[in-house]
Amino acid sequence: VDGRTIYGHEEPVRVKVDAAVRRAACPASTGTGSKLPRSQLDRWKAVYEAVAGWYRTDGPDAEVVPEVERAVMGYLDPVQAGICSGLFSSYRQILPKRSDETVDLEPPGSLVYDEARNASVAVATQIGLDGPNGRESIRLKTGKRATTAEEAAVLHAGSDGDTAFFDALLVAGSLEEIESDPTTRDDVVAALLEAGTAPVDARARPEPGPHCFSCPRPARCGQYPVAGGGSVGSTTRTVVITKTALRRFPECHRRVGWRRLYAIPDDQYDEEEEAPHGLSVGAAFHRAAAAALLADDPDAVVADAARALPPSERADLETLWEGHRSLAATEQAPVAVVRTEYGIGATVVVPGLDVDSRDRVRRDAPVAVVFVAFADAVGREADGTPAVVEHRTGADGAGYHLEAEVYALGAALLLRADRVAVHTHHLRDPDGASCLRREFGPADLAAARDALREVAAAVAAWHPDDALAPPYTVGRWCTWCEFAGTCSRFRDGAATSRPPA
């Protein structure tokens, strides 16, 4: 008999789908986070308010739309106001008003209650439409992500069975029915309730992975420790900078900010376009090596991966693996690998700009910038020196800006070490695979921290709500920039151009 049975009147635990899925992947993800960027959520709210206002207001769109947009998007910067206006227009095209339907702006969500756990899990919908097809419940989607399989299971398991659910995918401009497999949906919901109600273990070790990018706790969980010690408060503004974003930093700050702070949608690319040969083999190699390096029979794992590739790419993957094998046998300080695809990094707290809950700008507020990179492998050299290994599979073998510094500082902080080696394995070197080993001692680690602090200071100075705040720098890199189209429309006025840092 547990407390919940005795005190049966207790409020049920409310399980959130995203948090439960993340918790199953990383037990340390439960708990208070810090203040991460909110642009995407703000834009979602603006689009929702626009759609609701449009339904509430009778009259021709030519009059109603500008009025509604002024009311709910007026406070946004021009880039984000333009995005919201486009998404609002997309909604009206997908779901034009119809005289034979009634609109419910507060449709009931789907909720599943589990009496044994005294817990519930719910998924909301935003717009209910009752028309000739019966009831349709719409989920408003302003990002790329559609309703997940877990959310779909809850939607159907907790519904009356008479409602059809749809995603209004405003970026793609399409309406997609949300489906879930009736034979597995109860198990999916049970697993969510199980993960969401398991006792919290405060000592649980972080398990980094792709889920770190949707987690509220990167600055607080300890996986990306604070350089210089201390901790990050729950109200501290926080920005996560990936190694890919860091790579762009010397070229153009706008590109970094648009990706990591304001979540500006990319220009649309043709998704059918094939990845160029070399890129796909590189990705396949990274995947195969991550599994092989921890396997009892690494060669068999790679042979399996090679068989799954088209014949034209098989030999290339085998050559890369052969390069790895020859390096492992010949390099001076080989690494005994303990983890692969492992998230390493450091949090740097700098004074910067923040906006409080009453929209007042605070200068010199603490801002936590979390540098996160996923290393191909981590382990130790024979003498115990912690080591991080990065596989380069591209022909140019170019490194990312400050990548080794993030690895070295992150590993040193995580292991409380004052010496770390970073190995970059150039597997496509025409003269045979080679290793560039950089050893970071105390002075190098201090220099790495200073270099990251400089980047953090620039990031922290960008106004969190103004996408025009980070300066842009036009250069040859614009050709491949995912924001080139949007950026070119906002190069005058408030934005300024200045030489890169």
Contact set with ligand SF4 (CB under 6 A):
26, 28-29, 206-208, 211-212, 215, 217-218, 221, 223, 252, 254-255, 472-474, 477-478, 481, 483-484, 487
When the beta carbons of 301 and 414 are compared against ligand SF4, the nearer one is 414
Shortest Å distance, C-beta 255 to ligand SF4: 4
Shortest Å distance, C-beta 441 to ligand SF4: 27
When the beta carbons of 365 and 484 are compared against ligand SF4, the nearer one is 484
Beta carbons within 8 Å of 151's beta carbon, 6+ residues apart? 17, 123, 178
DSSP state of 358: T
Question: CA nearest 192: which of 21, 444, 28, 431?
Answer: 21
When the beta carbons of 124 and 484 are compared against ligand SF4, the nearer one is 484
When the beta carbons of 208 and 379 are compared against ligand SF4, the nearer one is 208
Shortest Å distance, C-beta 491 to ligand SF4: 7
Shortest Å distance, C-beta 455 to ligand SF4: 16
Beta carbons within 8 Å of 450's beta carbon, 6+ residues apart? none
Instruction: Indicate left, alpha or beta for 37 from its phi (over 0: left) and psi (-120 to 50: alpha).
Output: beta
When the beta carbons of 111 and 484 are compared against ligand SF4, the nearer one is 484
249, 455 Cβ separation under 8 angstroms: yes
425, 327 Cβ separation under 8 angstroms: yes
Shortest Å distance, C-beta 284 to ligand SF4: 25
Give the whole-angstrom CA distance, residue 209 versus residue 206.
Answer: 9
176, 144 Cβ separation under 8 angstroms: no
168, 141 Cβ separation under 8 angstroms: yes
When the beta carbons of 330 and 488 are compared against ligand SF4, the nearer one is 488
Q: Write out the two tokens for 419.
A: 């010496």
Within 10 Å of residue 113's Cβ, how many Cβ atoms?
A: 13
When the beta carbons of 260 and 426 are compared against ligand SF4, the nearer one is 260
Shortest Å distance, C-beta 132 to ligand SF4: 46
H or E segment to which residue 6 belongs: helix 3-6
AA identity, residue 445:
L
Shortest Å distance, C-beta 419 to ligand SF4: 24
**The residue to which tokens 């709910």 are assigned:** 72
